């Protein structure tokens, strides 16, 4: 069993070779007549497939090099203890950013737009104006800074309090260019508050604070929910796919259909597709451009995450390190900010927000916080148990109140002194432990989950969160916003 962990997962050769012509077709297609409506999107898909292949191939190929450079970890949840290469998120980040850089001439040069004749009906999207190039480049700069800072974190093992400002530093290029380009700092006021504030409010400098906090949140909220093989990358993957699904609603499609969201209380239908209306964009070129921008960043991200997940899946052959969390978090912040759908983005982070709120008592010192809060692995039974934090002395009254409330809501499992009723232990306040408690209570009153199942929970809760997010965004949002 000890050797199994270090043997790279075999690559399905036929699939890999088969994908090369598919990817090539996507890249060549826009140069052939008739030119498709969105030539850049074809090329982006082509590059994404190549990124997937590169990640699949490079992660196992570079693993030994990382181990040699002292970048390896031991799996906290495994019975064997052979070193597994750590920080391979760097490979994902490099492939991702290189794909985005090589994409520049296709997205921004005239070579494609000159060829694409205006479509006979519907809005024609002449890809990006050159002014958007600096926005694209500043996003790349932020991603690259997140990569280098994440990797430095892996190499130097930066302390927690020095870590927090890292995403803020990485978001500086974004903010600088946003400022230099005199970016919009107005926000739309929700309907119930309009009598007080009007329909638009200029946040000014506060908007820059909001943007840097968004990148901090997106980065750290993924990082905080780590500890099970594949947990970081699967969160990123599901969020990225959710963003892509949301973007697709705004593109001009040759077909169209309606989603019956009036059932959820929305006044307007969700119109999906139709060249004239460009789906939810309602004919707005600006909106189509923004969501194309988002797609260009999300498609290769999904590709590298999927490629890495293949090797990071239980039992993991490679660990992501902090680099992956930083880069994916920054990528989400970038599209949320630059494509102006940060509120929708935050909805996709619902599980992370829940985890953050749940963690607050431990983060702010009410409850003791051990170094690792990941679920505990029982070697004998091969099962996962919620990990626990012990109270060395009887907890303060505020802590008791909070924990009692959490316990009533079935968020934590408390160990109480049989006679005095003093709280001795609590399960660590993370969404993973919460889900373990939830599952065992509802199903067999016993911790039955294997590690692999643990990952399935994460995937499940993230997908569930995204479904909820779509419901809120296109159903309930109609109650507080115009559309």
Rounded distance between C-alpha atoms, residue 290 and residue 295, angstroms: 9
The two three-digit tokens of residue 321, written as one number: 């390190």
Rounded distance between C-alpha atoms, residue 169 and residue 353, angstroms: 22
Rounded distance between C-alpha atoms, residue 478 and residue 383, angstroms: 44
Choose the binding region for a second copy from 178-186, 239-247, 347-355, 399-407 (rule: CB under 8 A). 178-186
| Closest separation in Å from C-beta 46 to a second copy | 16
| Closest separation in Å from C-beta 101 to a second copy | 5
Q: Is the peptide bond before 174 cis (omega within 30 degrees of 0)?
A: no
End-to-end CA distance of the chain: 56
| Closest separation in Å from C-beta 102 to a second copy | 7
Give the C-alpha distances (Å, rounded to integers) separating 279 from 254, 270, 285.
10, 8, 11
What number of other Cβ atoms are within 10 A of residue 277's Cβ?
A: 18
176 binds a second copy (CB under 8 A): yes
Rounded distance between C-alpha atoms, residue 395 and residue 101, angstroms: 53
241's CB contacts (< 8 A; 6+ apart) are 302, 466
Please, which residues bridge with residue 377 across strands?
384
Q: Which of 353, 347, 341 is nearest to 188 (CA)?
A: 341
Residues in 116-175 at the binding interface with a second copy, rule: CB under 8 A: 130-131, 133-134, 137-138, 140-141, 144-145, 147-148, 151, 155-157, 169, 172-173
68 binds a second copy (CB under 8 A): yes
Q: Smaller CB distance to a second copy: residue 35 or 158?
A: 158
179 binds a second copy (CB under 8 A): yes
Choose the binding region for a second copy from 42-50, 96-104, 268-276, 423-431 (rule: CB under 8 A). 96-104
333 binds a second copy (CB under 8 A): no
What number of other Cβ atoms are within 10 A of residue 198's Cβ?
A: 9
| Closest separation in Å from C-beta 158 to a second copy | 9
Q: Smaller CB distance to a second copy: residue 197 or 209?
A: 209
Q: Is the peptide bond before 128 cis (omega within 30 degrees of 0)?
A: no
Instruction: Give the one residue of 70, 161, 393, 444 binding a second copy; rule: CB under 8 A.
Output: 70
Q: Smaller CB distance to a second copy: residue 65 or 415?
A: 65
- Under DSSP, the state recorded for 414 is E
184 binds a second copy (CB under 8 A): no
Contact 315, 8 (CB under 8 A): no
Q: What are phi and psi of 257, to 5 degrees?
A: -150, 165
Q: Which of 264, 270, 272 is nearest to 479 (CA)?
A: 264
Size of the site for a second copy (CB under 8 A): 40
27 binds a second copy (CB under 8 A): no
Choose the binding region for a second copy from 3-11, 179-187, 278-286, 334-342 (rule: CB under 8 A). 179-187
181 binds a second copy (CB under 8 A): yes
Q: Smaller CB distance to a second copy: residue 132 or 291?
A: 132
Choose the binding region for a second copy from 66-74, 254-262, 400-408, 435-443 (rule: CB under 8 A). 66-74
Binding site for a second copy (CB under 8 A): 65-66, 68-71, 98, 101-102, 104-105, 107-110, 130-131, 133-134, 137-138, 140-141, 144-145, 147-148, 151, 155-157, 169, 172-173, 176-177, 179-182
């Amino acid at each position: 069993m000890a050797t199994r962990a270090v043997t790279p997962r075999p690559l399905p050769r036929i699939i890999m070779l088969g994908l090369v012509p598919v990817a090539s077709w996507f890249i060549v297609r826009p140069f052939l007549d008739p030119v498709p409506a969105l030539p850049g999107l074809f090329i982006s898909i082509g590059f994404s497939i190549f990124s997937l292949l590169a990640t699949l191939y490079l992660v196992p190929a570079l693993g030994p090099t990382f181990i040699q450079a002292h970048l390896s970890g031991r799996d906290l949840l495994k019975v064997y203890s052979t070193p597994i290469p750590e920080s391979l998120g760097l490979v994902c980040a490099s492939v991702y950013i290189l794909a985005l850089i090589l994409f520049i001439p296709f997205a921004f040069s005239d070579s494609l737009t000159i060829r694409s004749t205006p479509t006979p009906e519907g809005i024609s999207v002449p890809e990006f104006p050159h002014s958007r190039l600096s926005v694209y480049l500043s996003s790349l700069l932020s991603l690259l800074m997140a990569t280098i800072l994440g990797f430095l974190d892996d190499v130097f093992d930066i302390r927690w309090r020095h870590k927090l400002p890292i995403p803020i530093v990485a978001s500086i290029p974004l903010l600088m260019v946003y400022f230099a380009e005199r970016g919009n700092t107005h926000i739309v006021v929700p309907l119930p508050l309009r009598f007080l504030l009007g329909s638009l409010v200029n946040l000014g400098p506060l908007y820059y604070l909001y943007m840097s906090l968004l990148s901090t949140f997106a980065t750290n909220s993924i990082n905080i929910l780590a500890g099970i093989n594949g947990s970081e990358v699967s969160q990123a993957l599901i969020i990225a796919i959710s963003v892509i699904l949301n973007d697709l609603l705004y593109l001009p499609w040759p077909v169209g259909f309606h989603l019956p969201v009036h059932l959820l209380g929305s006044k307007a239908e969700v119109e999906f597709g139709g060249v004239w209306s460009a789906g939810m964009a309602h004919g707005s070129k600006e909106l189509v451009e923004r969501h194309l921008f988002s797609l260009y960043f999300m498609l290769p991200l999904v590709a590298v995450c999927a490629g890495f997940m293949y090797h990071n899946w239980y039992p993991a052959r490679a660990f992501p390190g902090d680099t992956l969390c930083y880069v994916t978090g920054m990528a989400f912040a970038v599209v949320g900010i630059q494509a102006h759908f940060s509120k929708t983005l935050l909805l996709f982070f619902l599980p992370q927000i829940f985890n953050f709120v749940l963690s607050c008592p431990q983060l702010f010192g009410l409850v003791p916080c051990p170094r690792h809060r990941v679920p505990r692995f029982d070697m004998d039974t091969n099962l996962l148990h919620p990990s626990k934090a012990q109270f060395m002395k009887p907890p303060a009254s505020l802590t008791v109140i909070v924990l009692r409330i959490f316990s009533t809501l079935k968020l934590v499992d408390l160990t109480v002194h049989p006679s005095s009723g003093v709280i001795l232990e609590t399960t660590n306040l993370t969404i993973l432990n919460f889900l373990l408690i939830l599952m065992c209570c509802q199903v067999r009153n016993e911790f039955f989950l294997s590690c692999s199942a643990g990952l399935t929970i994460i995937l499940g809760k993230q997908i569930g969160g995204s479904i909820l997010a779509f419901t809120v965004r296109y159903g309930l949002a109609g109650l507080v916003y115009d559309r």
